[in-house]
Chain A
């Protein structure tokens, strides 16, 4: 199994530009999570999908952030327009099913730098 795949691994962009992060969960997993990790705030859950449906998006910082899961094998996190304070490592994770009973498998992350 290839594990959770994220692309790109690194993204450098200028303030005001649109950024799209991509995630392919492990095949057969029904739940997908987007996290953001910074030194100041640690690991924060941004949004959580179960069976392609957003269950909890209370962690999405503001309207500039949006996430979609058009099918079971693909999800995107978009930031538009990007700001320097969005610089962070963004992780995607998937698990077999919803809730916390099953282990979350994390991708390698996308390091985003907004200048």
Chain B
């Protein structure tokens, strides 16, 4: 079965600084990978996803993520953080594309932004 870990429970960055949130997955075959963001009091919103092809994936709100098979990682990056990026970020992994497959979410990383 697939699983996903996010080593950092909480990260604080200054506004304008770069950001990298770590995600590691465990799955024997090619995984399907996602990043979701949850703003306070809201549901989750998809930032980006990787299914195949180019290992550098662009998402909404200026985020990108890179799939590295050798490291079993799918880290999320943003070159310059805005105060509005303060939120909870979830990495997720899926194992297949049938209607029976589901997404497994990581524990999340809480991001604080210092003005």
Contact = CB atoms under 8 A, between A and B. Distances in A.
A56 B43 contact: no
Interface residues of B, number: 25
Nearest to B93: A100
B105 A91 contact: no
Contacts of A50: 99
A101 interface: yes
B107 A99 contact: no
7 contacts: A42-B106, A93-B43, A99-B98, A99-B99, A101-B51, A104-B44, A108-B43
B114 interface: no
A66 interface: no
A18 B22 CA distance: 40
A99 B108 contact: no
Nearest to A6: B43
Interface of A: 4, 31, 42-43, 45, 48, 50, 55-56, 91, 93, 97-101, 103-109
Nearest first, the 10 A-B pairs at minimum CB distance are A98-B99, A106-B43, A100-B94, A43-B105, A106-B44, A42-B107, A103-B46, A99-B99, A99-B101, A101-B97
Given A43-B90, A99-B94, 7 more contacts: A55-B99, A55-B100, A99-B100, A100-B97, A100-B103, A104-B46, A108-B43
B70 interface: no
Residue picked from B32, B34, B94, B100, most chain A C-beta under 10 Å: B100
Contacts of B107: 42
Contacts of B105: 42-43
Nearest to B107: A42
A108 B108 contact: no
A109 B46 CA distance: 16
A45 B105 CA distance: 9
B45 interface: yes
A109 B43 contact: yes
A100 B90 contact: no
Nearest to B99: A98
B84 interface: no
